[in-house]
Amino acid sequence: MLTNKERLIEQFTKLIAIDSPTLGERQMADYLKGELTALGLTVQEDDAGERLGGTSGNLYGFLEGDSDQPPLLLCSHMDTVEPSHGKRAILKDGVLYSDGRTVLGADDCSGIAAILETLRVIREKKQIHRPVEVLFTVAEEIYCKGAEQFDFSRVRSKEAYILDYSGPAGTAACQAPTILSFTAVVHGLSSHAGFAPHKGIHAVQAAASATAALKLGQIDPNTTLNIGTIQGGKGNNIIPDLCTVTGEIRSYSHETALSLAEKVHKQFETSAAAFGATVEFEKKLGCRAYQTPKDHPVTERFRRACRELNLPGTLEKTFGGSDNNVFAQNGIAGLVVSSAMYRCHSLGEYAPVEEIVQLAELTRLLITLE
């Protein structure tokens, strides 16, 4: 094993201590700029922060290789979900936890730490490696908005490994869904609920009728539909003239997701019309479905590296999005690699030390294998 375990865990805990909420990644970006530059990478920051109203852009770094192999892109995101202010890592029985007041932030500091350790090891050991591109993105936790702002024309790699997946070491996601969110605003007519209920048009009832008519949950083996929030009304004695409904669609088929969104739209229009109400409907694409073939070179290299480390090399589907959804739309074939993060987005998030070490070893092999 070439990974320096003590240094890696020290790096991880240092990253955890940096506040880096979504759209507030400035401190993390400044730190990583210094680290990447010191490791010999050419580093650039884009203007994604300005476009999104955040404090930092995406960081892109390039390291020349000393083999004739094509370049590879390594990616992790800089932002963490809330609550995140004042994070610190506590080691107990070989596992790193938060102190219970915040998330730990292994999502995605474990990935960042593994990439930095990989770059240090190949530099120290003078290992022959292919050209390496590093992308540390902002605003990943809000449907990969940072990656969407990145100019992929500067990227030379056609293959990528995104270190941002929850699951046992040696696992990677090769397929992910389209995620669509939608908002239906139902407009009725207010009236006094006691003296003149017949003069009102009940927006909440119209919205409830539409919701009741929809099949929610598992629509088919590849698709889900959820109504997440319903808000409306101003007082118990007023017929509500407005009701806002939000929801989400996920599907491994992009076309199916779009078709289902249209079905939801039509149902709200039909139900609203039955009550004399009207509806405004808006849908937003969070990320688009992709599938990386299991016989693609990017997956075969992953399996080879896993075999060297006696890891399973398991490929599976995920029903969550990541920056890899954006990469796929820009002609880059990638895998989302398990990254020593468990119970993400909760105060119980944790990261096993040995799996962080395995992640760093795996990352090193991915860029040094021929």
From CA 181, how far away is CA 254, in angstroms rounded?
13
Residue 68 has a pLDDT of 87
Show me where the domains of the chain are located: 5-176+289-368, 178-287
The token duo for 172 is 């990677």
Contact 148, 321 (CB under 8 A): no
Q: Note down pLDDT in tens along the chain; length 370 residues.
A: 899 999 999 999 999 999 999 999 999 999 999 999 999 999 999 999 999 999 999 999 999 998 889 999 999 999 999 999 999 999 999 999 999 999 999 999 999 999 999 999 999 999 999 999 999 999 999 999 999 999 999 999 999 999 999 999 999 999 999 999 999 999 999 999 999 999 999 999 999 999 999 999 999 999 999 999 999 999 999 999 999 999 999 999 999 999 999 999 999 999 999 999 999 999 999 999 999 999 999 999 999 999 999 999 999 999 999 999 999 999 999 999 999 999 999 999 999 999 999 999 999 999 999 7
Pick the CATH number of 5-176+289-368 from 3.10.129.10, 3.90.870.40, 3.40.1000.10, 3.40.630.10: 3.40.630.10
Q: At what angle do helices 106-124 and 353-368 cross, to 10 degrees?
A: 50
From CA 177, how far away is CA 322, in angstroms rounded?
10
**Fold for domain 178-287?**
Alpha-Beta Plaits (3.30.70)
For tokens 């490994």, name the residue: 161
Element (H, E) at 325: helix 323-329
The token duo for 120 is 């240090």
